[in-house]
Each structure stands twice: as C-alpha cells, then as structure tokens.
C-alpha cells in the first residue's frame, strides 16, 4: 500500500511539473501571497474574482491555481500580523500576540523565519497524511451509494452550521438560507421552475461567482468603507535577520510539532475553521509551557505553534473536501463548487477516476510551498509597503475587478446585479453578527444533498429507515444527531448560567481586539 502511494505521488509530480501546470501553480501562490498580506481581502475574495478564469481552463491547472491561492494566502497573512500587528485574517490574530512583541524587540525577522520553517514543516506533514490516507479512501470508495453520500453531506451541513463563529442557531439559519438559494432554478427531476420570481436568468441557478463575490467581497468592502487609510510603521527586515539561531530553533521545534498535530486533527474535522485551530494550538502551548507568563511578550512558541497549526490544517482540509465532498470551511466550499463547475463529482471515487487531478494537486502542494519560501525571502519589503496602501485606492480597484470578473462569466449585467444584492445582504448579516460562510456551504452542498436524498428514497421505495440500516450511513447519521444534541445541551446550559448571573462557557479564549477589528468570515 505504501509502495503504491509513493508510485502515485511520483505520477503526481510528473503532472504538477508540466510547464503549464507549474505556471498556473506559481500564479496562484503569488496572487494568494499578495492577497494574504492585504487586510480585509482574503482567499475567498481572490478565488471568487479568479473563478471565471477557470471556466475555459483544463480542470488540473484550474484547481492547482485555486489551491495555490488558498495556501499562499496563509503565508501572506502572517507577515502583517508579525511586522505591523495587523491580523489581515482571523487565524493570524493569535500570531499578533507574540509576533509583534518580537518585532518591537528587534526580532521580527526571526519571527518570520520561524514562521516559514514551521509552515513548510507543517504543510509537508499534512501532505504526507493525504498521501497515505488516500489508499484507504480508495478501498472504501465503492461502498458509497446515495444513502452514504447523503448522510456524509448532511453531517457537513450540520457541522458547518453549528461550528461557525458565533451562535450555532444563527449558523444553522444561514445554512438553511444557503439551501434555499441552492434550490433556485430548474428542478432536475421534474423540470419545474423554483424560486425564480419570473426572472428567466435564474432558471440556471444563482451564479456561484456572484454569490461568493457578493458575500465575501462586496459585503466586507461595504462594512469597511469608513477605514479610508492605514498607517504602518517603517519596519525593515534584512535577509540575514530571517535566519533563526540554533537555540531559537530548539525552542520552536516542539511547539511546531504540537501545532502541526493540532492542525492535522482539526483539518480532518469538517466545519472547524482555521481560527479555532490556531487559538487551540496557542492555548495548548500555554498549558504545557513551563513559563506561561512569557506568552504575549514575544515568546517564540506563541508564533511557531499557531502558524504550524494553520498550515497543516490548510493541507489536511483537502482530504474531506476532495474524497468525501465535505468542505471544511467556506474556501473549501468554493473549491468544491469549482470542481462541480468542471464537471467533476467530489467523493471517494474521485481518486481513481481523476488520478491526474488528485495526485497532481498533492504534488503541487510541495512545489507551491517551495515557491512560497523562495518568493517571501526577497519580497518581504514589498509586502510591508503594500500594507500601507490607502483603502480609498484598494477597495474601488477590487470592486472594479469583481464587476469585470462576474460580467465575463456569462456576459450578463444581471449577474452584476446579483453581486450587488448579495453584497448588501451580506453586509446587513455581518452587521447583525450572522456568519455568512454557512450560506455558501448550504448553496454548494444543498443540491447534492437533495439529489442523493431523493435517489436513496427511490431505491428504498420511500423507506426512511434506509439511512439507519446501512452501516456507514448509520454512523454518520448518529454523529449528526449527537452533534445537534451537544449544541442544544451547551446552549441550554449557557442560558441557565446567564440567568444565574454567571458568564457562559466558551470553547475558545477571546480573540482580543485585533480579531474584533478585522473580522473576516471563514
């Protein structure tokens, strides 16, 4: 089994190293790195804007580019957090706690060097998990019918809704809203028009690009419209400053390993975003440290652990998305939608039916991470300058590219109107503290859930117990029920504590001021 996995991995390197594939992978990591540095943008906005470009591309380079944007943005986000105390994205808010104090102490270059080493180590470990887990998925691929697929995707919907940021009830409500949006269009079985409200443009469903750009691009710009300028400091980092000493590497090694394991564990769990992962990794380090009082004052472990957790999770996130069709977060849901646009059905059989795509993607992770290390070393100064671009120039430019990208999809002004509508809806929901990521999750998984649910009932002649009589399906349905029951239990307990005047218990520590100031949805 191990020999076969290594053989498949070498095949993947042959695919990933083809000139056009490596070119698109490089383009993806470069754009992702750039977007990751800029506050308020994020991988979601970048992938949404470039999604129309993939319509005319072969599936392999298209997915390699989008994946490069995803993990490239993880590298870029740490730069602003460490050098300027600007958590461009929530997962890096915890990096600010010790990264910025290191910069103020003249150790900013060391913090960046440690981040790059930890990121590459964690990504490599996550890739190896994918390599050796895939044969197990192939062996059970043919045991998955419509009953099993429905139960797995139902678990993905429930996990994504109940584990999102904020109230689980709000998360479930947004998931249901996404399911309703996913029902718009022509019913596959009956041919009936559903929720089109007389608009012929809606017969082919709401456009994925319009929905994503509205919820994650326009909505965030509208909410940030009053932040007209950004003032950074004159931080300078030289190449030799980024080389950590042996003592510093020794201090970072065990936190790096523990953070990698935390990220790997949470990457395999659908619905757990990267923010949760980094805060838990940081909390674990404080618990096991002999000097917890040093955290928050420039402790190197406080940088190594969360960054390693973020990158290992980023890689392992692809396992449930590609092999089971369960996206771990909103970015994975968008990548899932990109696969469906290309006519590729995610699931256990993807590995055998589209081996070039799966193994080429895994090999490209290593190539992309090497490219990122090469890119970041000489371009740190450029990224710092970009952090000082005024928002009055950044946001209008981004809105222009969003409009161009949406229009180029189908040459339709109606879809630009869709972006505007969903942008306004997203801004209102964010102002009311509703998570918008579950909307995208419901939209992408909803039609697949409906299709497999109807197919399973047709095969069982309407017998609902079929979901509990099949072993794999019964296991996932049981987990779904337990997940809902756990959320109800904790919700009632917190309500009781609040009535008694006690503070409710939360799973995570408070994110602090930086995360409150820049709250980009996962």
The per-residue pLDDT for range 88-117, each reduced to its tens digit, is 566 776 787 788 788 878 777 788 888 888
356 domain-assigned: yes
Instruction: State the pTM of this model.
Output: 0.65
522 domain-assigned: no
**What is the token pair recorded at 274?**
């990267």
Mean residue pLDDT across the chain: 76
pLDDT band at residue 201 using 50, 70 and 90 as cut-offs: confident
Q: Is the pLDDT of residue 160 over 70?
A: no
The pLDDT, as a whole number, for residue 135 is 66
The pLDDT, as a whole number, for residue 142 is 60
Q: What is the mean pLDDT of residues 466-478?
A: 85
Separation CA 452–CA 337 (nearest Å): 17
Q: What is the DSSP string of 139-177?
A: HTGGG--HHHHHHHHHHHHHHHHHSSSS-HHHHHHHHHH
207 domain-assigned: yes
CB neighbour list of residue 76: distance below 8 Å, 6 or more residues apart: 32, 33, 34, 35, 36, 37, 38, 88, 383
pLDDT band at residue 447 using 50, 70 and 90 as cut-offs: confident
333 domain-assigned: yes
Q: Please, are residues 522 and 275 in contact by the beta-carbon 8 Å criterion?
A: yes
473 domain-assigned: yes
Q: Is the pLDDT of residue 519 over 50?
A: no
Separation CA 317–CA 509 (nearest Å): 23
Q: Is the pLDDT of residue 508 over 80?
A: no
Distances 198 to 195, 206, 340, 401, 447 between C-alpha atoms, Å: 8, 14, 26, 29, 21
Of 29, 101, 103, whose CA–CA distance to 68 is shortest?
29
Q: What is the mean pLDDT of residues 73-87?
A: 73
The pLDDT, as a whole number, for residue 511 is 39
Q: What is the mean pLDDT of residues 394-398?
A: 72
Structural domain boundaries, residue 459: 2-517
More confident call, 291 vs 514:
291
Total domains in the chain come to 1
């Amino acid at each position: 089994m191990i020999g076969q996995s290594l053989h498949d991995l070498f095949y993947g390197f042959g695919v990933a190293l083809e000139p056009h594939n490596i070119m698109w992978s490089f383009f993806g990591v470069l754009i992702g790195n750039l977007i990751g540095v800029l506050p308020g943008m994020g991988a979601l906005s970048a992938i949404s804007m470039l999604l129309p470009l993939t319509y005319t591309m072969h599936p392999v380079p298209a997915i390699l580019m989008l994946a490069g944007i995803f993990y490239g943005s993880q590298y870029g986000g740490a730069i602003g957090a460490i050098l300027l105390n600007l958590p461009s994205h929530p997962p890096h808010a915890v990096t600010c706690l010790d990264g910025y104090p290191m910069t103020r102490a003249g150790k900013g270059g060391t913090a960046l060097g440690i981040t790059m080493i930890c990121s590459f180590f964690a990504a490599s470990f996550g890739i190896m998990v994918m390599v050796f887990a895939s044969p197990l998925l192939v062996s059970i691929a043919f045991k998955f019918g419509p009953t099993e697929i429905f139960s797995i995707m139902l678990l993905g919907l429930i996990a994504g809704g109940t584990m999102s940021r904020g109230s689980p009830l709000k998360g479930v409500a947004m998931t249901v809203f996404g399911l309703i949006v996913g029902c718009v269009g022509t019913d596959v079985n009956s041919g009936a028009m559903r929720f089109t409200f007389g608009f012929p443009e809606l017969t082919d469903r709401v456009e994925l690009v319009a929905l994503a750009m509205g919820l994650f691009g326009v909505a965030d710009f509208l909410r940030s419209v009053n932040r007209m300028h950004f003032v950074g400091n004159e931080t300078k980092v030289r190449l030799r400053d980024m080389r950590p000493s042996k003592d510093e590497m020794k201090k970072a090694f065990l936190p790096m390993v523990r953070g990698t394991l935390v990220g790997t564990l949470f990457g395999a769990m659908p619905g757990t975003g990267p923010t949760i992962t980094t805060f838990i990794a940081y909390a674990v380090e404080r618990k096991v440290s002999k000097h917890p009082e040093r955290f928050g004052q420039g402790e190197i472990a406080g940088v190594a652990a969360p960054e390693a957790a973020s990158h290992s999770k980023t890689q392992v996130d692809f396992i449930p998305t590609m092999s089971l069709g369960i996206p771990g977060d909103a970015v994975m849901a968008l990548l899932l939608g990109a696969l469906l646009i290309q006519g590729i059905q995610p699931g256990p059989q993807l590995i055998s039916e589209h081996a070039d795509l799966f193994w080429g993607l895994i090999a490209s992770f290593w190539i992309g991470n090497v490219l990122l290390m090469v890119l970041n070393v000489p371009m740190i100064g450029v990224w710092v300058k970009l952090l000082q671009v005024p928002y009055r120039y950044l946001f209008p430019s981004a809105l222009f590219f969003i409009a161009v990208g949406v229009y180029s999809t189908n040459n339709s002004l109606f879809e630009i109107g869709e972006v505007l509508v969903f942008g306004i809806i997203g801004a209102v929901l964010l102002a009311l503290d509703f998570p918008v990521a579950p909307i995208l999750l419901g939209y992408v998984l909803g039609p697949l859930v409906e299709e497999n649910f109807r197919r399973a009932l047709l095969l069982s002649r309407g017998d609902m117990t079929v979901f509990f009589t099949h072993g794999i399906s019964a296991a996932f349905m049981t987990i779904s029920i337990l997940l809902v029951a756990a959320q109800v239990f904790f919700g009632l307990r917190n309500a009781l504590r609040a009535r008694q005047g006690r503070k409710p218990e939360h799973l995570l520590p408070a994110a602090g001021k930086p995360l409150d100031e820049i709250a980009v949805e996962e």
